Amino acid sequence: MDNSHISALNAKHHALEAKIRTEMSRPMPDTYLLAEMKKRKLRLKEELAST
């Protein structure tokens, strides 16, 4: 994989991480939204690991 693709995956991973932190800091976080974001983050991490 080229560096631009890896950089894009890293950027998406970090953005999701920030969104997860923001959602978790809310008084009543949306658990469904959190679960979906964590799944997406895990898929990105797995894709990065396979490169």
- Domain locations in the chain? 3-49
Give the model confidence (pLDDT) of 12-51 as tens digits.
999 999 999 999 999 999 999 999 999 999 999 999 998 8
Of residues 2 and 39, which shows the higher confidence score? 39
The pLDDT value given to residue 1: 61
Residue 41 token pair: 């983050």
The pTM of this model reads 0.85
Residue 18 token pair: 């920030």
